[in-house]
A and B are shown apart, each in its own frame.
Chain A
Amino acid sequence: MARSLAKRMLSESGPDVRARAAYGFRLCTSRQAKGRELDQLSKLYDEELARLTADKASAHKMLGDLAVADEARNAELAAWTVVSNVLLNLDETVTKE
Chain B
Amino acid sequence: MKLDDHENSLQAITRRHFFKQTGFGIGSLALTSLLNEQLLRAQVAPPGRTADEAPQQKPHFAPKAKNVIYLFMAGAPSQLDLLDFKPELKKRDGEPCPEDLIKGERFAFIKGVPRLLGTPHSFRQVGQSGAELSILLPHLSEIADDVAIIKSMHTTQFNHAPAQILMNTGHQIIGRPSVGSWLTYGLGSEGRELPGFVVLLSGKNQPDGGKSCWGSGFLPTQYQGVEFRSKGDPVLFLSNPEGMSVDTRRHTLDALQSLNRMHIDEIGDPEITTRIASYEMAYRMQTSVPDLMDIAKEPSAVHEMYGTQPGEASFGNNSFARAPPGGERRAFCAALSPRLGHAWLKRR
- Taking Cβ atoms with an 8 Å cutoff, the residues of A that contact B are 34, 36-37, 40-41, 43-44, 47-48, 51, 57-64, 78, 82, 85-86, 89-92, 94-95, 97
Identify the closest chain B residue to A2 (Cβ): B241
Among A41, A60, A64, A86, the most chain B Cβ lie within 10 Å of the Cβ of A86
A-contacting 9-mer, from B125-133, B248-256, B319-327: B248-256
- Whether the Cβ atoms of B263 and A62 lie closer than 8 Å is no
Chain A residue nearest to B253 in the complex (CB): A86
Whether B243 lies near A90 (C-beta < 8 A) is: no
Expressed in whole angstroms, the Cα–Cα distance for A30 and B272 within the complex equals 18
Main secondary structure on A side of the interface with B: helix
Say yes or no: is B81 at the interface (Cβ < 8 Å to chain A).
no
A90 touching B242 in the complex, CB below 8 Å, given contacts A51-B248, A82-B252, A97-B269: no
Nearest B residue to A44, CB-CB: B255
**Residues on A with beta carbons closer than 8 Å to the beta carbon of B262:** 34, 36-37
Q: B279 at the A/B interface (Cβ < 8 Å)? A: yes
- A-B CB contact pairs (8 Å), 27 listed: A34-B262, A36-B262, A37-B259, A37-B262, A41-B255, A41-B259, A43-B255, A44-B255, A51-B248, A58-B243, A58-B244, A58-B245, A61-B243, A62-B242, A64-B242, A78-B243, A82-B244, A82-B248, A82-B252, A90-B259, A91-B263, A91-B269, A91-B275, A91-B276, A92-B260, A92-B263, A95-B271
In angstroms, Cα B244 to Cα A63, docked, is 11
Residues of A with C-beta under 8 A to B247 = 51
Interface extent on B, as a size class? 20 to 34
Q: Is B258 an interface residue (CB 8 A)?
A: yes
Compute how far the CA of A37 lies from the CA of B272 in the bound complex, rounded to whole angstroms.
17
Task: Establish whether residues B245 and A89, one from each chain, have CB atoms under 8 Å apart when the complex forms.
Answer: no
- A57 and B255 CA atoms in complex are apart in Å by 24
A86: chain B residues within 8 A (beta carbon): 252, 255-256, 259
Is B267 an interface residue, CB under 8 A from the partner? yes
- Note all chain B residues with C-beta closer than 8 A to A82: 244, 248, 251-252
Indicate which residue in A40, A60, A92, A97 contacts B255 across the interface (CB closer than 8 Å): A40
A44 to B257, CA, bound (A): 12
Known: A44-B255, A59-B243, A91-B275. 16 other contacts (CB 8 A): A44-B252, A48-B251, A51-B245, A58-B244, A60-B243, A63-B243, A64-B242, A78-B243, A82-B248, A86-B252, A86-B256, A86-B259, A90-B256, A90-B263, A91-B260, A97-B269
CB nearest neighbor in A for B267: A97
Does A40 lie within 8 Å of B259, measured CB to CB?
Answer: yes
Which residues in B have their C-beta under 8 angstroms from that of A92? Answer: 260, 263
Contacts of A40 in B (CB 8 A): 255, 258-259
Partner of A44, one of B244, B251, B269: B251
B100 to chain A, nearest CB (A): 54
